[in-house]
Structure 1
Amino acid sequence: MDPLEGEASSPIEYEPVSVKDVLVEMKDTAELLIDLSYSSVLHRSEALAEEVLRLEERMDVLEMRARMSLLMAARSPDDAEQLAPVLGIVTAADTISDAAGDISKIVLEEIGLPEAMRAALPDAVETLVRGVVDPGSGYAGRTLKDIDLESETGVRVIALRRGTEWLLNPGPETEIEADDVALLRGPDSEIPAVYRELTETAYEPPASAPQAIDDLGRAVDTIVHMKNLSELAVDLAYSSVLFDSEELAEEVRNLEVEVDALESRFEAWVLRAAADIDDPVSLRGLIHLGTSTEAISDAAVEISEGVLREIEAHPVVRMAVQESDEILTRVEIEPASALDGTAVTAGVPDADVTMSVIAVRRPDEGWILVADTDVTLRDGDVVIAKGTRTAAEQFEGLAG
C-alpha cells in the first residue's frame, strides 16, 4: 500500500467517543499541520511535506468522527443551536488541514519556488526535521524526561508517529521507541548532533542558496509574519470558544484583518521580485502560499463565530474549559498601571506574575509577536498572555 494511503481510505464507523476529546485532538492536529506545512516549504523538505499529507488523512478521520458524535448529541432544537458553532469548529479545522495540504504540495508537486528563497529566511525560523529512530539509538526505549533533551540541547520533540498512530504534544513520560518517526524542532547548532544520536545517520542541512533578491526577501519576511499571525489567530480562536471570551474572538477578527493587509503587501513584493529573476514562473508557489495562509486566518474567524454571535456554549465545550489548567487572556494596559513600562524578555514580563506574553497589539504599530522580539509594555497596548487561571487574574489586576 502507498505510504500516504492510510486511515482516510478505510471505512469509518461510529464510535462512542468524547466530542471534547476529538475537538482537542483536532486542535492539536491543526496546529501541527500549520507548523509542518510551512517548515516543509521554508526548508524545501519532501519528507516533512509527506508527513503533512499523512496528518491530513488523520484530520479527515477526526472530522468524520466529530460529525457523527455531534449528530448523536443533538436531541432537541436547543441542542442543535448550541452545537451548530461546534460544527463550524469542525469544518474550520478541516479547512486548515486542506490549506496545509495545499502548502505541502508546493514542494511535492514542484509548483515553483525560487532558489533564492532560503537565503531570505529570517534567522528566527528554527529548524524542523524529521528522523526515524534507529534501534541502536541512545534515545530508544527511554522517556523524554529521562533523556532531558530540551534542557540539554534546546531541541524539542514536537510529535511522534508510530505506524499510523500520532502522538501529539508528547510529555515527559512519553517513551521513544525504535522506528518511531520523530519531528524535532530546535536551533541549527544543536540539530545535527541530536539527529545523529536519534537516527544513527548524519544530518544533511539544506544546500546553501544564492544571495536573495531584496523584494523576494521582503516577500518571505512577510509570509513568515503572516504564518505566525495565522497560528496565533487559530490559538486565540480555540481559546475564545473554550473560555467563551468575546474579547479573544474580537482579537481573532483583528488578526484576520492584519493578515489580509499583509497578503496585499506580500503579493506586491512577489510581483516586483518577478522583474528581477530569470524565471518568474518559479514564484508561483509563493502565490499559493499567500492564498493558503489567508485561508487559515479565515478559518480562525469561523472557529470563533459562535462566540461573536453570543450563542451559549454547549456543555461539551464547558467540560473542556473545566479541565483546562492553562488559559489565554487578553488585557489592555492602563496608563500608570503596574504593567505600564514593564519590560518583556523572551515572553517573560518583569513583574511578579507567572504569565507568558505571546503577542502585543499596539495602536500605532499593529501586532508585535513577542517570540520574535523583546518589548516594553506601555499604556494602550492590548496584551495576549498565557498562564494559569490564578496568574491570569493577577495579570489582569496589574494591567488596570
Structure 2
Amino acid sequence: MTREERVEYEPTSVKAVLAEMKDTAELLIDLSYSAVLHGSADLAGEVLELESRMDELQLQARMSVMMAARSPEDAEQLAPVLGVIGAAEKISDAAGDIAKVVLEEVGLPDAIRAALPEAVETLVRAELSADSTYVGRTLAESNVETETGVRIIALRRGSDWLLNPDAGTTLRADDTLFLRGDEDGLRAVYRTATGTAYERPDPSVPSVDDLERAVDSVVLMKNMSELAVDLAYGSVLFNSEAVASEVDELEMEVDALKSRFEAWTLRAAARVDDPVSLRGLVHLASATEVISDAALEISEGVLRGIDAHPVIAEAVEASDEVIVRLEVAPGADLAGETLGERRVKQETGMRVIAVRRPADERDDGEWVISPGPETELRVGDVVLAKGTRAGAERLSLRLGDPREFED
C-alpha cells in the first residue's frame, strides 16, 4: 500500500474481514513458497500485490474491532481478535519477505528447489487467453475440478481478487488463475487456459552434506509452521486448549530447528563456491519462523483461558477452506483403516491435520499431530481436517458422522 492511499473507516462485517484475512494469509503462504520453487518473478509479484491488500484489510479490521468495544467485558473478549488480526498481518509480511528473495535476487541455492517439491503442493499461475475454451463459461460449466482434479483456488481480475471462486463464477479473458492439483491435471488445465505447455523446473541436488541438512531444516520448518497455523485456527474454532498447546510445542520446535539450521548454514558456507548464494536461504528460514510465531499468536487467547469473541470462530467457518471436527462412528467406512490405504486425501480432498485418540488400554487420549499415511482411524477418534466444504461432507459420510457444510 503506497503512502498516498488512505484507508477510512467503513461499517463492515468483522467476520467477513477476518475470513478474508485468513484466506489471504493462507494463499500468500502458498504463493510465496511456490514463487521460490519455480523461481517465478510473476508469482512473487502477485504476493506483493496481495500483501498490499492485506494491509488494507488489517486496518479495516482494527477499526471495526475498536468501534465494537463498548465495555471492559467487550475489550476482554475482543483482545484475541486483535491477536488474530496481527497474526494474519505477520504471515502476510513473512510471505512478502519470501517473495523478495526471488524478486531481489538475494541468492538461493538450487538445493532448496530440489527439496521443496516434496513440501509444496504444486501451485501454478496461468493467464487465461482470449481463445481458451474456458472463457465465458462458469466453473460449473467448465467442470475443471471434476474432470482434472485441479482446483482454481483464486483468480485475479485486474486489481481485484476473488479468493473463493464458486461454481457460478464466470471466467473471462485475461483473468489470472491460480491452480492447485497434481502434475498431470495441471498440465492439461494450463494448456487449455493459456494455449502453451506447462514446464516444471528440474533443479539440481545438493552435493554438500551440511547444505543438504540446512535445506531439510527449512523444509521441515515450513511444514511445521503451516501445520501450526492450521492447528491454531482449529484451537480457536473448537476452543481447545489441548490443540493450542500443540501449537506452542510446534513453535518451540521451529525455534530449535532454526538454531540447528544456522549452524549447518555457517558450516556449508565454507564449502560452497559462492557463500553469498546462501543469503536467500537465511531469509527463507527467518520468514518461516515468523509464520510459526504468528500461529502461536492466533492461539494465545485459548492458552490464556480467555473466551474469544464468537466472531473468530464464525470467520474460520466462513473462510474458503474450512477446518472441521468429526468423530469416527461405529461401522464407519474408514473405521479400522489407515489414511494411506484408503487414500483419504485423494478421495475426499481433505487433509487430516490431527487425530485425538479416546483414552483406552492402548492410548491415553493424546493428539496425533500431522498423521501420516500409516495412521489408523479408530472408532471414537476425533478427527480435525482441512479442505473445501464439499470435501468435508464427503469425509463426514465416510467417518459415519454426516454433516452439511453450507457456503
Same-fold status (TM-score > 0.5): yes
| Structure 2 CA distance for aligned equivalents of residues 234 and 328 of structure 1 | 15
Whether contact under 8 Å (2:210, 2:268) holds in the other structure is yes
1:268 aligns with 2:263: yes
1:283 equivalent in structure 2: 278
1:194 aligns with 2:198: no
CA 1:331/1:280 → structure 2, altered by over 3 Å: closer, same or farther?
farther
2:375 equivalent in structure 1: 376
1:245 aligns with 2:240: yes
Partner SS state of residue 308, structure 2: coil
Whether contact under 8 Å (1:102, 1:292) holds in the other structure is yes
Partner SS state of residue 90, structure 1: helix
1:307 equivalent in structure 2: 302
Whether contact under 8 Å (2:119, 2:223) holds in the other structure is no
Paired residue for 1:229, among 224, 231, 239? 224
| Structure 2 CA distance for aligned equivalents of residues 328 and 121 of structure 1 | 28
1:360 to partner: Cα distance: 6.0
Partner SS state of residue 339, structure 2: strand
| Structure 1 CA distance for aligned equivalents of residues 161 and 66 of structure 2 | 26
| Structure 1 CA distance for aligned equivalents of residues 354 and 342 of structure 2 | 8
2:34 equivalent in structure 1: 39
Which is further off, 128-137 or 20-29?
128-137
1:210 aligns with 2:204: yes
Whether contact under 8 Å (1:341, 1:376) holds in the other structure is no
**Structure with a larger share of its residues in strand:** 1
Paired residue for 2:87, among 70, 92, 98? 92
1:185 aligns with 2:185: no
Consecutive unaligned residues in structure 1, runs of 5 or more: 333-337
2:135 equivalent in structure 1: 140
CA 1:14/1:121 → structure 2, altered by over 3 Å: closer, same or farther?
closer
Cα root mean square deviation, aligned = 3.5
1:310 to partner: Cα distance: 1.3
1:280 to partner: Cα distance: 1.0
1:176 equivalent in structure 2: 171
1:71 aligns with 2:66: yes
Which is further off, 136-145 or 30-39?
136-145
1:313 to partner: Cα distance: 2.5
1:335 equivalent in structure 2: none
Whether contact under 8 Å (2:339, 2:375) holds in the other structure is yes
CA 1:252/1:286 → structure 2, altered by over 3 Å: closer, same or farther?
same
Letter matched to residue 385 of structure 1: A
Aligned residue pair count: 377
CA 1:9/1:101 → structure 2, altered by over 3 Å: closer, same or farther?
farther
Whether contact under 8 Å (2:25, 2:92) holds in the other structure is yes
Which is further off, 320-329 or 100-109?
320-329
Consecutive unaligned residues in structure 2, runs of 5 or more: 358-362, 387-391, 402-407
Letter matched to residue 72 of structure 2: P
1:297 aligns with 2:303: no
Paired residue for 1:81, among 71, 76, 81? 76
CA 1:253/1:383 → structure 2, altered by over 3 Å: closer, same or farther?
farther
Which is further off, 18-27 or 126-135?
126-135
Partner SS state of residue 385, structure 2: strand
| Structure 2 CA distance for aligned equivalents of residues 91 and 280 of structure 1 | 35
Percent identical: 61
TM-score (norm 2): 0.81
